[in-house]
Amino acid sequence: MTNNAAAIQSAINDASTNGGGIVEIPADGTLSTYLSGPINLASGVNLQIDSGAMLQMLPRNVTTNGLTIIPNWPSASTPFISGSTLTDVAITGLGLLMDRARTGGSPRPQRARTSSNSLIVRVF
């Protein structure tokens, strides 16, 4: 289980700092799943989840082989994707955005919305 939050957050921050753009969550032929802890959106950024890609919230405080994967998830009330005083923000694309119930239950799929294109920053 890999937490992709740092790479995604870095791409969001870079896009916003450089005047805005698209942060693309790409698909790689088959369904590509990107697991992530909390993400903070920034002004001018379109988080685009491509068809065949899934951005999924990691469960809180998961352990693997005795190691905590998300040791610093701020609290049970911290949202998966958040932002404050934002302008020109979108979550778009034909991919899936999956959250989890607060108890760590089954993921619930959400489809993103569509928007226009601009600078593309790929997350790998």
Domain with 84 in it: 5-119
- Give the CATH number of the domain where residue 9 resides: 2.160.20.10
Q: pTM, whole model, 2 decimals?
A: 0.74
Q: For residue 42, what pLDDT is reported?
A: 96
Q: Is the pLDDT of residue 26 over 90?
A: yes
Is residue 124 in some structural domain?
no
Q: For residue 73, what pLDDT is reported?
A: 64
Is residue 10 in some structural domain?
yes
Question: If you average pLDDT over every residue of the chain, what do you get?
Answer: 76
Distance CA 80, CA 29 (A): 26
Calculated CA dihedral for residues 98, 101, 107, 109, nearest 10 degrees: -50
Q: For residue 48, what pLDDT is reported?
A: 95
The per-residue pLDDT for range 88-113, each reduced to its tens digit, is 999 999 998 887 644 445 555 554 44
The per-residue pLDDT for range 44-94, each reduced to its tens digit, is 999 999 999 999 887 766 666 666 555 556 676 778 888 889 999 999 999
Is residue 51 in some structural domain?
yes
Q: For residue 100, what pLDDT is reported?
A: 62
The domain tally of the chain equals 1
Q: For residue 65, what pLDDT is reported?
A: 64
Distance CA 31, CA 5 (A): 19
